[in-house]
């Protein structure tokens, strides 16, 4: 059984202030983020999917000003219909979360003790920390080197069988019916 997991998709931002960008994929990552997070820290989140929306909720409830930059037209657009996504956005906005739909971060600059994220429309967000939650990329290198078919994930059938006899893949690394679904329920 291959249960290799996934890695955060690189955010692609570099330069002064890039050391203030965090991605959380394990307990060590989370510990580093929490250690950097101070009471009242302003947090910019890249990505309004499941992880970005969960963090936005938790951080807002914890008293942190939160701004979410999300390329999609509403949060969780790949998992929910528009009315559900809009309701989520509104509920989080009531908690103080500010949304920037249809945008991406193009640059990061140091700004005092924090950073300034420059968005694709030229607008800017000032934050103390940035959390990158733009997605995961399945770990496929081991399977590929063993000659097992991979695409965006390790390709499996409905029984989670790979292209190699007696080898299965499960979890974040598996691609079922052309879909990589790094969530427990799917």
Give the ranges where the chain is alpha helix by DSSP (H). Answer: 27-36, 50-61, 82-94, 141-145
- pLDDT of 118 over the 60 cut: yes
pLDDT average, residue stretch 123-130:
96
Q: Which of the residue ranges 5-9, 34-38, 73-77, 103-107 would you say has the lowest mean pLDDT?
A: 5-9
pLDDT at 183: 62
Burial pattern 111-142, b for ≥16 Cβ within 10 A else e, equals beebbbbbbeeeeebebbbbbbbbbbbbbbee
Tens of pLDDT, residues 14-28: 888 888 999 999 899
Distance CA 131, CA 129 (A): 7
- pLDDT of 175 over the 50 cut: yes
pLDDT average, residue stretch 166-186:
83
- The tokens 């992880």 sit on which residue? 51
pLDDT at 181: 74
Max CA pair span of the chain: 57
Tens of pLDDT, residues 99-115: 999 999 999 999 988 99
How far is CA 70 from its chain centroid?
Answer: 10
pLDDT average, residue stretch 75-83:
93
- pLDDT of 60 over the 50 cut: yes
Bridge partners, 46 (sequence order): 69, 132
**177 exposed, middle or buried (CB, 10 Å; 0-12, 13-18, 19+)?**
exposed
Distance CA 148, CA 162 (A): 7
- pLDDT of 41 over the 90 cut: yes
Quick check: pTM over 0.85? Answer: yes
pLDDT at 79: 86
- Model confidence at 62, in pLDDT bands (50, 70, 90)? very high
Distance CA 6, CA 136 (A): 6
Compare 183 and 19 and report the one with higher pLDDT. 19
pLDDT at 17: 87
**Listed residue (40, 151, 145, 59) closest to 98, CA to CA:** 59
pLDDT at 182: 67
Distance CA 5, CA 14 (A): 26
- pLDDT of 186 over the 50 cut: no
């Amino acid at each position: 059984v291959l249960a290799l997991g996934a890695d955060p998709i690189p955010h692609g931002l570099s330069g002064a202030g890039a050391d203030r960008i965090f991605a959380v994929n394990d307990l060590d990552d989370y510990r580093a983020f929490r250690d950097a997070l101070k009471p009242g820290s302003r947090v910019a989140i890249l990505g309004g999917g499941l992880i970005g929306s969960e963090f936005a909720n938790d951080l807002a409830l914890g008293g942190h000003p939160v701004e979410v930059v999300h390329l999609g037209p509403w949060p969780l657009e790949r998992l929910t219909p528009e009315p559900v996504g809009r309701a989520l956005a509104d509920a989080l906005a009531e908690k103080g979360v500010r949304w920037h739909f249809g945008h991406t971060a193009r640059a990061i600059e140091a700004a005092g003790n924090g950073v300034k994220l420059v968005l694709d429309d030229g607008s800017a967000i000032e934050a103390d920390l940035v959390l990158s939650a733009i997605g995961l990329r399945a770990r496929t290198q081991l399977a590929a080197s063993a000659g097992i078919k991979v695409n965006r994930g390790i390709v499996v059938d409905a029984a989670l069988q790979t292209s190699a006899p007696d080898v299965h893949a499960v979890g974040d690394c598996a691609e079922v019916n052309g879909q990589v679904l790094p969530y427990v329920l799917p």
